[in-house]
Structures are given as C-alpha cells and as structure tokens.
Amino acid sequence: MSHDFLAEQTEAEGWKAERVLEWAAQQFGVRASIASSFGAEDVVLIDIATRIGAPFPVFTLDTDFLFPETYELIDKIEHRYGITVERLRAKLTPAEQATQLGEALWTRAPDQCCEIRKIEPLKDRLGSASAWITGIRREQSAIRAHARKLEWDAKFGLAKINPLADWTEGEVWAYIRSRAVPYNPLHDRSYPSIGCVHCTRAVLPDEDARAGRWSGFAKTECGLHLTRPANDLQD
C-alpha cells in the first residue's frame, strides 16, 4: 500500500459520501464497482453515484435464494437509474448443491453455503477489479465498528471503499425519503438486514438489527466483510 493511500485514508474520514465516491471515480473509474445487496444503504449509494455522475458498475450476489421483494427491487432500480445490475451466481445450481452436499445445507453448515453462493462468486468478480464500494456502516455491528471510508482489503487484495461508514440509520432513511429512493418493502416489516429467504427473519423490537440473520447460529456475517481491522493496513 502506498503512502499516498495511507494519507488519503486519514483525510477521507472528514469527507462526505459524495466526495468519497468522487475520489473513487477519479482513482479507479469503472475498475471500482458497487457491491449491492439492495439493502437501504446500497440503494442510497446507487442514488448518490448516479447523482454525481459516477458510472460505477453495480453487481449483486444472486444466491438463487433471495426474497421475491429483493428481485422486484433490483428490477425497479435498473429501470429508475437506467443501469444493468450484474448478477453473480454460484458455480453450483441449488439442485447441484443439494445433490452434492445434501438438502438445505444452510441449516447444517451455513458458512459453507455462504462460501459457495457468496464468497466464491465475489472472489471471482473482484479478481478483475481495483476497488469495491460497499454500504457498510460502523453502527451496524461490532465487526463493522472499525470500518474506515478508505481501506485496503487484504482478504481480496484491493481497495475497499465505505462512503457511508459514519452514517446513522436515521441519516440513511432521511436520504431515502427525501429523494423517494426505491427500497425493499421488507424493511417496513421488521427486516433491517435482508439476505436469503432461508437465513433471514424479522427481528423483535428489543433485538439487534442483525439478529434476524442466521438465527440459531453464532453467525451474523456471511464472510464478505470479515477482514483484518481497518487500521491494520501495513501490507
């Protein structure tokens, strides 16, 4: 990692999301992509990028098990912003996975299921990229609490850009409402974090926002964002 990147990493903590995305566009152009699960933060990123004229490709990890509401939202976003979302799929179809590893792998080995349907397709996609842009925020979980706006992702070997790292949930929803950004209606039904149908449930009023993911397992992340602490960047 260059000294310039380390200096900009510190400076970027004072930048607004628009400035972070402008920097990413200047540095990487279309070699930076928005990774979108089409949660509230992700639709905000797409809206900001479009508004400032940053033509980042957008991709999503289509596990073949997403909610119907998520697929409908992807179609709405494509129509609203005039983009085509790249849909990354696992090498194994759901039927092939069931034949090789047994039915309902997510009920027995959710980490392995995520590896097949999310991590491996992401690795393949990021292998040809210079940076990826995510919607993670520090207040989402303890694992994400140390995220910085500019990071070096040692796991995937490229820059990781988190323009909304310091945003609050309230700021995300204020932006969505102010600009009438399409969002997943499951958010209105107590689904703050939305993944696959089989591994996501609504949360109760007193539960953590990610309690609905992989309920019953000691797991709150699929593994995409499990990297070294953001301040440990001496590669």
Mean pLDDT of all residues in 130-158? 92
- Cβ atoms 6, 152 nearer than 8 A: no
Residue 66 pairs in a beta bridge with 196
pLDDT at 127 over 60: yes
Reported as a single tens digit per residue, the pLDDT across 150-165 is 999 998 999 999 999 9
Cβ neighbours of residue 137 under 8 Å, at least 6 residues apart? 41, 144, 147, 162, 164, 165, 166, 167, 168, 169, 172
pLDDT at 128 over 80: yes
Confidence of residue 7 (pLDDT cuts 50, 70, 90): confident
CA–CA gap between residue 27 and residue 173 (Å, rounded)? 29
The pLDDT score that the predictor gives to residue 28 is 95
For the chain, the domains span 3-199
The catalytically annotated residue of 114, 196, 199, 222 is 222
pLDDT at 180 over 90: yes
CA–CA gap between residue 66 and residue 191 (Å, rounded)? 13
Q: What is the mean pLDDT of the chain?
A: 89
The pLDDT score that the predictor gives to residue 228 is 44
Domain 3-199 listed as CATH 3.40.50.620: yes
Mean pLDDT of all residues in 100-117? 94
pLDDT at 235 over 60: no
CA–CA gap between residue 113 and residue 97 (Å, rounded)? 9
In three-state secondary structure terms, 14 is: coil
As a whole-number percent, the residues of the chain with pLDDT over 70 amount to: 88
* C-alpha dihedral (17, 22, 26, 32), degrees to nearest 10: 50
Confidence of residue 223 (pLDDT cuts 50, 70, 90): very low
**Range of lowest pLDDT (65-74, 100-109, 210-219, 226-235):** 226-235
pLDDT at 227 over 80: no
Mean pLDDT of all residues in 16-25? 97
The pLDDT score that the predictor gives to residue 224 is 59
Mean pLDDT of all residues in 123-137? 94
As a whole-number percent, the residues of the chain with pLDDT over 90 amount to: 77
What pTM value is reported for the model? 0.88
Q: Is 180 exposed, middle or buried (0-12, 13-18, 19+ CB in 10 A)?
A: exposed
pLDDT at 21 over 70: yes
Q: Is 222 a catalytic residue?
A: yes
Confidence of residue 226 (pLDDT cuts 50, 70, 90): low
Mean pLDDT of all residues in 7-13? 89
Q: Hey, what are 141's tokens?
A: 């979980």
- Cβ atoms 90, 116 nearer than 8 A: yes
In three-state secondary structure terms, 74 is: helix
CA angle 130, 158, 124 (to 5 degrees): 75
